[in-house]
Amino acid sequence: MGRDEQGTADTTRALQALAIAGAVAALAGTSPAAHAEPAIAGDDQPQSRILGGTGATTDDTPWVVALTDRYGNQYCGGTLIRAGEVITAAHCAHDPLTGAERSPKDIRVIAGRTDLRSSQGDEAQVDDVWVHPGYEDFTTGDDLAVLKLSAPLPQRPLPVVAPGDTTSYEPGTKARVYGWGRTSEDGPASDTLRSVEVPVAADDTCRSAYPTYDSRSMFCAGYPEGGRDACAGDSGGPIVADGRLIGVVSYGTGCGRPGTPGVYTRLASYVP
Ligand code: ARG
């Protein structure tokens, strides 16, 4: 899902800035005095942020990139895996309204920009989009695409999990997911990069939450009680374990709901 459905970038961002304090207050039931804390400052209290994450910076994780449309609206994330290559979700390479593939010139890659309101870092154009040929929609798997950039980016790329690796996907493996997506299910997206740690869940848990769950092409991650999760706008972005990219944010029912982990593309099934 994209923020391009929510109006122009400037208006959206301005409204988001106003709405975030109110949304956090309403959800957390806290007193107004508590909202002086800036949205970027993170803590690990699930009750204070529905997504449950903390602030992150592209200085520490230079390989996390934002994808924007031709109007500059961020709608997905991605990961730099080589100087000229970004991994993202196949559904991020499609227009959510028409279902048609996005033209490469309608996708921009933003690197090294923690705060999307700034002009820090680098922007890259896309020359070519490879979408996994098996992709139909995210519920059936193969939710994977690779963007070939027209010029290499200077940011450090992230190594990808080894082909056929299984240890990274063992239940309980601590993985960290990154993005500029929503900080609550119905709330605004984040102007600044955030991240949250979630444990990989057992296939049975994923299957009982999602009838079309496929353990070959997907894995899922989250706490049984919910509270920490990726959300809309984080799609295509990285989930990392042990310094390697193990998955791509794909889908979920709501965000951070109990018994409803987030679903990710299982990269070890797709590399090289
Ligand atoms: N499909 C969403 C997007 O386009 C990502 C949803 C991830 N949801 C979750 N609960 N983990 O941004």
pLDDT in tens, 230-269: 999 999 999 999 999 999 999 999 999 999 999 999 999 9
Nearest CA to ligand 1 atom 2: 232
From the candidates 184, 217, 235, 250, give the one annotated as an active-site residue: 235
Return d(Cα 246, Cα 253) in angstroms, integer: 21
Q: Is 235 a catalytic residue?
A: yes
Q: Is 69 a catalytic residue?
A: no
**Whether residue 56 has its Cβ less than 6 Å from ligand 1:** no
Dist. CA 128 → ligand 1 center (Å): 24
Low-confidence stretches of the chain (pLDDT < 70) are 1-50
Position 37 scores a pLDDT of 30
Position 51 scores a pLDDT of 81
DSSP string, 8-40: -HHHHHHHHHHHHHHHHHHHHT--GGGGGS-TT
Residue of 234, 248, 264 best suited for mutating to test ligand 1, as the one with most atoms within 8 Å of CB: 234
Nearest CA to ligand 1 atom 6: 251
Helices in the chain by DSSP H: which ranges?
9-28, 203-209
Dist. CA 140 → ligand 1 center (Å): 15
**Whether residue 87 has its Cβ less than 6 Å from ligand 1:** no
Position 117 scores a pLDDT of 97
Position 49 scores a pLDDT of 45
Position 272 scores a pLDDT of 76
CA angle at 134 for the pair 129 and 138, rounded to the nearest 5°: 85
Position 76 scores a pLDDT of 97
Cα 111 from chain centroid (whole Å)? 14
Return d(Cα 76, Cα 66) in angstroms, integer: 6
Return d(Cα 237, Cα 76) in angstroms, integer: 7
> What's the first-to-final CA gap in the chain, in angstroms?
28
Domains in the chain and their CATH numbers? 5-11+23-46+62-149 (2.40.10.10), 167-269 (2.40.10.10)
Whole-structure pTM value: 0.83
**Whether residue 206 has its Cβ less than 6 Å from ligand 1:** no
Q: Is 91 a catalytic residue?
A: yes
Residue from 19, 269, 22, 240 nearest 164 by CA: 269
Position 168 scores a pLDDT of 98
